[in-house]
Chains A and B, each alone.
Chain A
Amino acid sequence: MTAPRFSIDHKALKRCDLFIPHGRIDSSTAPQLEEALRSVTKAGRCKIVLNLSDVNFLSSAALRVLVSTARECRKFGRGDVYLAEVPESLKEVFDLTGLDDLFKFFDTEAEAVGHF
């Protein structure tokens, strides 16, 4: 049996919700990311940190999920989506789409969590 291409861990912290996705966020797995993020935003929790250190692929479908979630969270100043420990190859996808200026990036998960 092969390892799943995508999985996601969620930790509800005091300050925010931390998500640690693993593997490939492509067009077929992005809906799983969306579902996970929506489970907290629907409950009114909009301070989200995504640790992307274990993600090896990110497509535009994943970017769409991040943009719509961040948009939802920033409405009425309820929160934001912070990105932590983003590998260089993934960072390039944000650069190529001009999204690098629209998200806050942190070198470590602790810094991102502490920023809320």
Chain B
Amino acid sequence: MSRNRTITLQAGPKTVAAALDFVADACREWGVTQAACFKLSLAVDEAVSNILRHAYQGQPGHIELRMGVKGSDVWIELRDWGPFFDPTTVPEPSLQAPLEKREVGGLGIHLMRQAVDELVYRREGDVNILRMVKRGALP
């Protein structure tokens, strides 16, 4: 059984749902722990939403989602062909502010950083590549 798979998603209203279905199916087949699958899904939801918002901004485009296993780790790579956007450099939101003053933006990036153990961005030609790794995702 191959523990490496890729899906190409068209940018649109169903992209996030399709990406999360893809992650959930792989997690189920590979026996990824529920906790790790939840965290990977959190990170993918945020990453794909960012791509739709920043890279494609409602315009047509596609996202390639690759997912695989290395030892007991699960890695995910997201590729898009939008303008340069490095989500790892977005500043952390204040987590201490009271509800009335709480910034609701930036939470997603913060969650993405918290959910996975490695978050690495690189630009290759005209491609944004975001790689995330969840360690110990397989029992």
Residue A98 is within 8 A (CB to CB) of chain B in the complex: yes
**Contact status B96-A98, CB under 8 Å:** yes
Please, what's the 1-or-0 string for B100-116, where 1 marks a CB less than 8 Å from any CB in chain A? 10101001101100110
- The smallest beta-carbon distance between A103 and chain B, in angstroms, is 8
Among candidates A28, A71, A74, A96, residue contacting B16 with C-beta atoms closer than 8 Å: A28
- Contact across chains for A27 and B48 when beta carbons are under 8 A apart: yes
Asked whether, in the complex, the Cβ of B102 is within 8 Å of the Cβ of A96, the reply is no
Residues in B neighbouring A99, C-beta threshold 8 A? 102
User: CB within 8 Å of A: which of B83-139?
Assistant: 95-96, 98-100, 102, 104, 107-108, 110-111, 114-115
Q: How far is the CB of B24 from chain A (nearest CB, A)?
A: 9
Could you tell me which residues of chain B, from 13 to 42, have a CB within 8 Å of some CB in chain A?
Answer: 13-17, 20, 34-35, 38, 41-42
Residues in B whose Cβ lies below 8 Å from that of A67:
99, 102, 104
Inter-subunit contact A97/B107 (CB<8 Å) = yes
Residues of chain B contacted by A93 (CB below 8 angstroms): 42, 111
Q: Provided the pairs A97-B111, A98-B95 are in contact, do residues A61 and B49 lie with their beta carbons within 8 angstroms? A: yes
Is the C-beta of B45 less than 8 angstroms from some C-beta in chain A? yes
- Interface assignment of A70: CB less than 8 Å from any CB of chain B: yes
Shortest beta-carbon distance from B116 to chain A in Å: 12
Interchain CB contact under 8 A, B14 and A71 = no
Given the complex, which residues of A lie within 8 Å of B45, measured CB to CB? 26-27, 57, 59-61
A-B pairs, top 7 by smallest CB distance, nearest first, are A98-B95, A60-B108, A59-B45, A27-B49, A60-B107, A64-B104, A28-B16
Interface residues of B (CB under 8 A from A): 13-17, 20, 34-35, 38, 41-42, 45-46, 48-49, 95-96, 98-100, 102, 104, 107-108, 110-111, 114-115
Q: Which residues of A contact B (CB under 8 A)?
A: 5, 24, 26-29, 57, 59-61, 63-64, 67-68, 70-71, 74, 89, 93, 96-99, 102
